[in-house]
């Protein structure tokens, strides 16, 4: 490849409230995906755009799009989504993290990540991309649409969990196993969304229809196990390789993933975007995965009631007079409250980030409970982009103990 023809992001420094919007050209332009990136101020009156929620997928499968006539490589999963989201005749405005943030620049990421609650919250809609059609996904999406239009006063068990709908239920369970539902970032992306639309292949439906379906599944499971009986009787008999126990585990997985998301969304819409302490979010949403170890915390900061995400100061930058290195001022009604801030900095060792979280949690809760709770995952990507498990990054950090402060501070005063 001629590297002179590769698209390179232009720096947005020193603007800390600007984002890039992807202009996705219509299908009428041909098979190739043609785009432009436009830098805009992030504010409520900006032109409508949609924000994408998706799982990055296999990094070994790449495809090419064209930004301002230059080559830009994206994951195959994203390429398929962009093909689907293209309008026949109009330009579509999108915010896509993998394209709109320079992923090779940790400094830029540290500035853009704290803006993500606002980016998803101001979007006209959040597009949840589940991937290409497979494993009866079309059947599942049609089923979701039908569930959303059910008369809730009717006999739901008879309408949904009879032999006529066994394969539809099974197809939905398969859909819910897709990894995008287990992403830690999706919690924030859905919780702050004005509205969300689920896409799978050429099918789409509202997020609310999924929440409705899972709620009915939970009710049927708690009240006599209607789903399990139906699947045992009608699917297992026609499919000798079908394992009823597997379907039950799949159902439990679906409930454990989707219901916290809908709960987070409800809490946010009622109480505002910061309704729950970070300790509770991190502990209760442990099953949601993060590729980078830092994102165990960073992905949930935008929803936390007791701490605020903030970018690090630029090199040579200084605090304004009266600013505190450890506290940020937050207005609630007519009251101004002091709130700790957590600097989003991907150049830090994950252990440094974790120590600061634990220190903050113990100080604010006056309890050591967080030490006994499972909340940090076993492996992920470290500051250098390499795969690490908890033991190896701990050894790395201890080997450079001068980088881990004995008494970590918060805010811009942190190491």
Does any domain span residue 131?
no
Please report, for residues 69, 79, 136, 226, 266, the alpha-carbon distance to residue 6 in angstroms, rounded to integers and kept in the order given. Answer: 9, 17, 38, 55, 43
Domain span at residue 95? 3-123
Check residue 173 and give its pLDDT.
Answer: 84
**Do 391 and 294 fall within a single domain?**
yes
Check residue 157 and give its pLDDT.
Answer: 60
Q: pLDDT tens-digit profile of 109-124?
A: 999 999 999 999 999 9
Q: Which residues of 185-197 are buried (b: 16+ CB within 10 A; e: fewer)?
A: bbbbbbbbbeebb
Please tell me the distance from the alpha carbon of residue 68 to that of residue 49, in angstroms, as a whole number: 19
Range 86-89, long-range pairs (CB < 8 A, 24+ positions): 86/24, 86/25, 86/26, 86/27, 86/33, 87/24, 87/26, 87/27, 88/26, 88/27, 88/28, 89/26, 89/27, 89/28
Asked whether 181 and 258 are in contact (CB, 8 A), the reply is yes
**Do 400 and 291 fall within a single domain?**
yes
pLDDT band at 169 (very low <50, low <70, confident <90, very high): confident
**Do 148 and 262 fall within a single domain?**
yes
Q: pLDDT tens-digit profile of 69-119?
A: 999 999 999 999 999 999 999 999 999 999 999 999 988 999 999 999 999
Does any domain span residue 205?
yes
pLDDT band at 388 (very low <50, low <70, confident <90, very high): low
Tokens 């009710």 appear where?
Answer: 219
Task: Give the domain-ending residue among 271, 300, 332.
Answer: 271
**Do 333 and 207 fall within a single domain?**
no
**Do 118 and 210 fall within a single domain?**
no
pLDDT band at 410 (very low <50, low <70, confident <90, very high): very low
Please count the structural domains in the chain.
3
Range 318-324, long-range pairs (CB < 8 A, 24+ positions): 319/412, 323/412, 324/411
Please tell me the distance from the alpha carbon of residue 123 to that of residue 306, in angstroms, as a whole number: 25
First CA to last CA across the chain, in angstroms?
A: 40
Q: pLDDT tens-digit profile of 246-290?
A: 666 677 777 777 777 777 776 666 555 456 899 999 988 888 888
Please tell me the distance from the alpha carbon of residue 383 to that of residue 397, in angstroms, as a whole number: 11
Does any domain span residue 231?
yes
Does any domain span residue 132?
no
Q: Per the structure block, which two tokens stand in for 373?
A: 């709770």
Does any domain span residue 385?
yes
Is 0.85 surpassed by the pTM of this model? no
**Do 291 and 336 fall within a single domain?**
yes
Least confident range of 206-210, 214-218, 276-280, 396-400 = 396-400
Nearest CA to 118 among 198, 182, 184, 49? 49
**Do 353 and 395 fall within a single domain?**
yes
Does any domain span residue 129?
no
Q: Which residues of 370-400 are buried (b: 16+ CB within 10 A; e: fewer)?
A: beeeebbbeebbbbeeeebebeebeebbeee
Does any domain span residue 403?
yes
**Do 43 and 82 fall within a single domain?**
yes
Q: Which stretches within 68-223 are classed as H helix?
A: 76-85, 97-100, 106-112, 116-122, 137-148, 156-160, 166-176, 185-191, 207-222
Check residue 263 and give its pLDDT.
Answer: 75
Residue 397 has pLDDT above 50, yes or no: no
Check residue 170 and give its pLDDT.
Answer: 83
Task: Give the domain-ending residue among 227, 247, 271.
Answer: 271
**Do 297 and 389 fall within a single domain?**
yes
**Do 16 and 87 fall within a single domain?**
yes
**Do 292 and 254 fall within a single domain?**
no
- 3-class SS at 74? strand
The dihedral through the CA atoms of 362, 357, 350, 126 has a sign that is: positive
Q: Per the structure block, which two tokens stand in for 175?
A: 């859909």
**Do 150 and 119 fall within a single domain?**
no
Task: Give the domain-ending residue among 91, 123, 155.
Answer: 123
Which pairing describes strands 196-200 and 62-67: parallel, antiparallel, or unpaired? unpaired
Number of CB atoms found within 10 A of residue 53's CB: 26
Nearest CA to 82 among 139, 32, 124? 32
Does any domain span residue 85?
yes
């Amino acid at each position: 490849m001629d590297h002179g023809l590769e698209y390179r992001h232009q720096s947005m420094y020193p603007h800390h409230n600007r984002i890039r919007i992807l202009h996705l050209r219509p299908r009428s332009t041909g098979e190739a995906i043609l785009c432009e990136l436009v830098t805009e101020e992030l504010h409520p009156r900006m032109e409508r755009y949609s924000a994408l929620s998706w799982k990055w997928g296999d990094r070994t499968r790449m495809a090419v799009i064209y930004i301002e006539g230059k080559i830009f490589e994206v994951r195959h999963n994203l390429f398929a989504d962009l093909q689907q989201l293209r309008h026949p005749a109009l330009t579509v405005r999108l915010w896509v993290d993998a394209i709109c943030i320079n992923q090779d620049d940790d400094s830029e990421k540290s500035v853009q990540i704290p803006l993500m609650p606002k980016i998803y919250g101001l979007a006209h809609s959040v597009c949840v991309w589940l991937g290409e059609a497979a494993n009866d996904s079309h059947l599942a999406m049609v089923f979701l649409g039908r569930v959303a239009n059910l008369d809730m006063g009717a006999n739901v068990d008879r309408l949904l969990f009879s032999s006529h709908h066994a394969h539809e239920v099974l197809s939905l369970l398969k859909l819910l196993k897709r990894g995008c539902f287990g992403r830690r970032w999706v919690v924030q992306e859905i919780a702050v969304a004005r509205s969300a639309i689920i896409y799978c292949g050429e099918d789409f439906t509202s997020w609310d229809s999924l929440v409705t379906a899972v709620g009915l599944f939970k009710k049927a499971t708690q009240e006599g196990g209607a789903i399990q009986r139906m699947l045992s009787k009608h699917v297992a008999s026609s499919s000798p390789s079908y394992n009823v126990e597997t379907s039950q585990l799949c159902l439990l997985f679906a409930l454990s993933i989707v219901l916290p998301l809908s709960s987070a969304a409800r809490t946010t819409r009622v109480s505002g975007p910061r309704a729950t302490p970070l300790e509770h979010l991190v502990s209760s949403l442990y099953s949601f995965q993060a590729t980078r170890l830092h994102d165990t915390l960073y992905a949930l900061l935008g929803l936390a009631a007791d701490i605020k995400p903030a970018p690090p100061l630029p090199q040579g930058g200084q605090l304004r007079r009266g600013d505190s290195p450890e506290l940020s001022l937050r207005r609630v009604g007519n009251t101004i409250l002091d709130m700790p801030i957590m600097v989003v900095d991907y150049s830090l060792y994950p252990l440094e980030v974790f120590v600061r979280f634990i220190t903050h949690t113990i100080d604010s809760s006056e309890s050591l409970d967080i030490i006994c709770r499972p909340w940090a995952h076993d492996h992920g990507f470290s500051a250098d982009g390499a795969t690490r498990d908890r033991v190896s990054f701990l050894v790395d950090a201890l080997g450079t103990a001068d980088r881990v402060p004995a008494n970590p501070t918060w805010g811009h005063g942190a190491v």
